[in-house]
Structure 1
Amino acid sequence: MNSSLSPTAILGIIAVYFAVLVLISFLTSRKGNDNESFFLAGRKSPWPLVALGMVGASLSGVTFISVPGAVGAGGANEAFSYMQVVFGYLLGYLFIGVVLLPLYYRLGLTSIYEYLKGRIGPYAYKVGAFYFLLSRVIGASFRLFLVAIVLQEFVTGPLGVPFGVTVAITIALIWLYTFQGGIKTIVYTDTLQTICMLLAAGLTVYFIGQALETDLGGMVELIRNSDYSQMFYFEGGWTDPNNFWKQFFSGALITIVMTGLDQDMMQKNLSMPNLRDAQKNMATFSIVLIFANILFLSLGALLYIYATSVGLAIPEASDQLYPSIALRHLPAGAGVVFVLGLIAAAYSSADSALTALTTSFCVDFLGMNEAVPGGKDDVALAADKRKRLYVHVGFSVLLFFVILAFKTIGDRAVINSLFKAAGYTYGPLLGLFAFGLFTRLRVREVVQIGNFQLPALLLVCLAAPIISMLVDANSAELMLGFEFGFLILAFNGLLTFLGLVALSDFGDFQSIEETNDDGSATGE
Structure 2
Amino acid sequence: MNPLLVITVISSYFILLMVISHFTSKSDDNLTFFTANRQSPWYLVAFGMIGASLSGVTFISIPGEVGNTAFSYFQVVLGYLVGYFVIATVLLPLYYRLNLISIYTYLQQRFGNFSYKTGAFFFLLSRIVGSAFRLFLVAGVLQIAIFDSFEWPFSVTVAVTIALIWLYTFRGGIKTIVWTDTLQTLFMISAVVISIYLAKDSLDMSWTSLTERVSSSGYSKIFVWDWQSGQNFFKQFISGAFIAIVMTGLDQDMMQKNLTCRSLRDAQKNMFWFCIVLVIVNFLFLSMGALLYIYAEQMQIAIPTRTDDLYPMLALGHFPAIAGVVFLLGIVAAAYSSADSALTALTTSFCVDFLGLGQDDKPISKKVRIRVHIGFSIILFLVILVFKAINDESVITAVFKAAGYTYGPILGLFAFGLVTKYSLRDKLVPIVCFLSPILSYIININSEAWFNGYKFGFEILVVNGVLTFIGLFLLKVKNENYRAL
TM-score range relative to shorter protein: over 0.9
Mean Cα deviation higher: 279-288 or 481-490: 481-490
Which residue among 270, 283, 288 is the counterpart of 1:294?
A: 283
1:478 paired to 2:473 = no
| Distance in 1, Cα, partners of 2:334 & 2:206 | 27
In the aligned structure 1, how far is the partner of 2:259 from the partner of 2:121? 20
Query: For residues 169-184 of structure 1, what are the structure 2 equivalents within 5 Å?
Result: 169-184=160-175
- In 2 relative to 1, CA 356–208 (structure 1 residues): closer, same or farther, beyond 3 Å? same
Aligned to 1:487: 459
Equivalent runs, 1:153-302 vs 2, <5 Å: 153-234=144-225, 236-237=226-227, 239-302=228-291
Two-structure CA RMSD over aligned residues (Å): 1.1
User: Any gaps of 5 or more consecutive residues in structure 1?
Assistant: 446-454, 516-524
Residue 330 of structure 2 aligns with an amino acid whose one-letter code is G
Q: Note the residue ranges of structure 2 that are not aligned, 5 or more in a row.
A: none
Map of 2:52 onto structure 1: 57
**Residue 433 (1) aligns with residue 414 (2):** yes
Among 131, 136, 139, the residue aligned to 2:127: 136
- State the match for 2:7 in structure 1: 11
Aligned counterpart, 1:345:
334
Q: Does residue 105 of the first structure (1) align with residue 96 of the second (2)?
A: yes
* 2:59 alignment partner AA: F
> Structure 2 matches for 1:76-115, cutoff 5 A?
78-115=69-106
CA distance in 2, matches of 1:167, 1:303: 30
Quick one: distance in 1 between partners of 2:261 and 2:367?
A: 25
What corresponds to 1:66 in structure 2?
Answer: 61
How does 1:2-41 map onto structure 2 within 5 Å? 5-30=1-26, 32-41=27-36
> Which whole-Å deviations, capped at 9, do the CAs of 1:262-309 have from their partners, x for residues lacking one?
000000001111100000000000100000001000110111111111
Question: Does the aligned pair in 2 maintain the 1:442–1:509 contact within 8 Å?
Answer: no
**What secondary structure sits across from 1:316 in the alignment?**
coil
1:450 is aligned to: none
CA distance in 2, matches of 1:146, 1:343: 10
1:237-267 CA deviation, whole Å, 9 max, x = no partner? 2x11111111000100100000000000000
Q: Is the 8 A contact 1:428 1:465 kept in 2?
A: yes
2-structure distance, mates of 1:223, 1:512: 55
State the distance in 1 between where 2:367 and 2:214 align: 54
Aligned partner letter, 1:324? M
Mapped to 2, the partners of 1:300 and 1:108 lie a distance apart of: 42
Deviation, 1:371, is 3.0
Name the aligned partner's letter for residue 32 of structure 2: S
C-alpha distance in structure 2 between counterparts of 1:150 and 1:336, whole Å? 13
For 2:389, give the aligned amino acid. T
Give the SS at the match of 2:218: coil
CA contact (8 A) 1:152 1:163 kept: yes
| 1:451 corresponding residue in structure 2 | none
Alignment partner of 2:369 out of 388, 392, 407: 388
| Superposed displacement of residue 190, structure 1 | 0.2
Alpha-carbon distance, 1:155 to partner: 2.7
Q: Report what 1:410 is aligned to.
A: 391
- Distance in 2 between residues matched to 1:307 and 1:512, nearest whole Å: 61
TM-score, normalised with respect to structure 1 = 0.91
Letter in 2 for 1:423: G
Report the CA distance between 1:153 and its aligned residue. Answer: 2.2
- Identify the residue that residue 519 of structure 1 maps to in structure 2: none
Is residue 6–residue 145 contact of structure 2 (8 Å, CA) maintained in 1?
no
Distance, in Å, in 1 between the alignment partners of 2:122 and 2:212 is 46
1:463-510: CA deviations, max 9, x gaps? 11111111111111101111221111111111111111111123x345
Tell me, what secondary structure is at the counterpart of 1:485? coil
Q: Distance in 2 between matches of 1:297 and 1:43?
A: 35
2: CA distance, partners of 1:398 / 1:443: 33
In structure 2, distance between residues paired with 1:403 and 1:26: 28
Deviations 1:147-185 (A, max 9, x none): 112222233223322111111100000000000000000
Q: Is the CA contact 1:65–1:319 (under 8 Å) kept in the aligned structure 2? A: yes
Post-superposition offset of 1:511: 3.9
Which amino acid is the alignment partner of residue 10 of structure 1? V
Q: Distance in 2 between matches of 1:467 and 1:509?
A: 33
Rounded to whole Å, the distance in 2 between the matches of 1:14 and 1:161 is 17
Alignment of 1:504 with 2:485, yes or no, is no
Would you say the 8 A contact 2:231–2:457 is kept in 1?
Answer: no
Query: Match for residue 127 of structure 1?
Result: 118
> How many Å separate the matches in 2 of 1:112 and 1:503?
23
CA distance in 1, matches of 2:283, 2:260: 29
Contact 1:42 1:271 in 2 (8 A): yes
The amino acid across from 1:325 in the alignment is L
Shift in alpha-carbon separation, 1:62–1:512, aligned structure 2, 3 A:
farther
Which of 45, 48, 72 matches 2:43?
48
More displaced 10-residue stretch of structure 1: 49-58 or 217-226: 217-226
Summarize deviations over 1:177-226 as a string: whole Å, max 9, x none.
Answer: 00000000000000000000000000000110111011222211111121
Deviation at 1:7, TM superposition (A): 1.5
Q: Larger radius of gyration, structure 1 or 2?
A: 1
Identity %: 58
Tell me the distance in 1 between the aligned counterparts of 2:150 and 2:297.
Answer: 32
Match of 2:428 in 1: 456
Q: State which drifts further: 260-269 or 159-168.
A: 159-168
Q: Counterpart in 2 of 1:452?
A: none
Indicate conservation of the 8 Å contact 2:33/2:174, yes or no: yes
